[in-house]
């Protein structure tokens, strides 16, 4: 059974979640929860707890996840800006930075070790279920427009999404905990904008201020 969302004139405006839920209406399902919920598995939770313990990242310090990859270069915020963001967060907000990398981003490892705070934990060998388990422990996940961003949203982690205005509205993460930063080009997004958005989440949506140091 492979349901397809109905073709609509306004399909670019309606979220895919709503379009897929429309398929259920003829079956009598009209009140399904429209927010996705992904439950992690005990084995994956245990694997992540072991990794965090070995890295001494299980001591109560807030964890901030970063995902610098994307399927196309036009959707990748520059790595050096992710590094600057990580430095701001580590110095000003006493958080631990976790960088998530897929197979396509493993070429970034040496640059990350050189540019990012020395306490940064690089997670580049996780399975997808383990990625979800790790993301469920984050205070916030800062990401380009990628699949891992949707996983973070599904496990209930607030997302700061760096988005090109050309991206379809129908794919955005749903819920009021997320911060979405639009720009005409990804390179136009500033570190200050992203830091402010991340810190807004970290401080419970109180106003964020960039600390000079």
> Residues, the chain, total?
213
Mean pLDDT of 86-111: 93
pLDDT at residue number 206:
44
Q: Is 20 part of a structural domain of the chain? A: no
Measured in degrees and rounded to the nearest 5, phi and psi for residue 18 equal: -65, -35
The total number of structural domains that make up the chain:
1
Six token digits for residue 110:
């040496």
The fraction of the chain above a pLDDT of 70, given in percent, is 78
Q: Is 115 part of a structural domain of the chain? A: yes
Q: Is 40 part of a structural domain of the chain? A: yes
pLDDT at residue number 8:
55
- Alpha carbon distance 123, 130 (integer Å): 10
Q: Is 164 part of a structural domain of the chain? A: yes
Burial of 97 (0-12, 13-18, 19+ CB in 10 A): buried
Structural domain containing residue 148: 35-202
Left if phi > 0, otherwise alpha if psi is -120 to 50, otherwise beta: which for 178?
beta
Q: Is 162 part of a structural domain of the chain? A: yes
Query: In this structure, what CATH number is given to the domain that contains residue 102?
Result: 3.40.50.2000
Mean pLDDT of 69-77: 85
Q: Is residue 205 predicted with pLDDT exceeding 50?
A: no
Q: Is the dihedral of CA 65, 41, 46, 202 positive or negative?
A: positive
pTM of the model: 0.80
Using one digit for the tens of pLDDT, what is the confidence trace for 17-46?
A: 566 556 666 777 677 666 678 899 999 999
């Amino acid at each position: 059974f492979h349901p397809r969302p109905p073709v609509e004139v306004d399909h670019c405006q309606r979220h895919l979640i709503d379009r897929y839920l429309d398929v259920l209406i003829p079956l009598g399902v009209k009140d399904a929860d429209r927010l996705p919920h992904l439950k992690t598995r005990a084995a994956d939770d245990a694997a992540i707890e072991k990794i965090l313990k070995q890295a001494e990242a299980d001591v109560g310090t807030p964890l901030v996840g970063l995902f610098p990859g994307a399927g196309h270069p036009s959707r990748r915020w520059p790595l050096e800006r992710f590094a600057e963001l990580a430095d701001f967060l580590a110095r000003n907000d006493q958080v631990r930075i976790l960088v998530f990398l897929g197979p396509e981003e493993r070429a970034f490892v040496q640059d990350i070790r050189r540019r990012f705070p020395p306490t940064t934990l690089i997670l580049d060998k996780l399975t997808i279920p383990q990625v979800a388990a790790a993301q469920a422990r984050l205070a916030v996940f800062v990401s380009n427009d990628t699949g891992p961003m949707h996983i973070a949203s599904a496990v209930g982690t607030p997302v700061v999404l760096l988005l090109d205005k050309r991206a379809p509205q129908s794919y955005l993460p749903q819920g009021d905990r997320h911060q979405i930063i639009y720009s005409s080009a990804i390179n136009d997004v500033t570190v200050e904008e992203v830091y402010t958005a991340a810190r807004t989440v970290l401080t419970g949506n109180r106003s964020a201020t960039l600390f000079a140091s």
